[in-house]
Structure 1
């Protein structure tokens, strides 16, 4: 359970990540940021995203990890956080599993 400050920062980071990845991506795939989690001490943030088509997942994850420092600069420019967290990017397999279950149930 995240505190109110953690939740607010997580939402802000997720929004910024969506803007950044949308602007920087190659447009061959669709990258959708699903959520961001931040540690209680605000030192680490994990950004979860999905990629369509699925065949571009590995490339998109490599791209996001390569752009981590640029994303850090982008967040610094667009927020007033005194100390920026270390950013991790991960594929949101939970969302993929939910989508798969939805197709099975239909």
Structure 2
């Protein structure tokens, strides 16, 4: 169970990631940040996102991973965190599966 501090930092990082990715992307695809997970020691953070259309997932993931250093600088400017975590970006397949289940009729 994440601590209250972890949850607060994760929410803040998800919002910053959404702002950063929308500003830096080429607008050929829609990147939506769904959540962020932060390790208990706050040393690692994983940002999860979805991409529309699906054909741009690999391109968007490569883009996000290339921009990790710039994103870290962006977070440093926008927050007062003393120690910044190592950032990783992943496609949120859990959200994709949930959306697929929503389309299945009972």
Q: TM-score when scaled to structure 2?
A: 0.98
Partner of 1:9: 9
Structure 1 residues 59-78: aligned runs within 5 Å: 59-78=59-78
Structure 1 residues 79-94: aligned runs within 5 Å: 79-94=79-94
Describe the SS at the equivalent of 1:105: coil
Describe the SS at the equivalent of 1:46: strand
Q: Distance in 2 between matches of 1:46 and 1:66?
A: 14
Partner of 1:25: 25
Q: Distance in 2 between matches of 1:62 and 1:105?
A: 34
Structure 1 residues 38-77: aligned runs within 5 Å: 38-77=38-77
Q: TM-score when scaled to structure 1?
A: 0.98
Describe the SS at the equivalent of 1:80: coil
1:56 Cα deviation from its structure 2 partner:
0.1
Query: Which ranges in structure 1 are unaligned for 5 or more consecutive residues?
Result: none
Alignment RMSD: 0.8
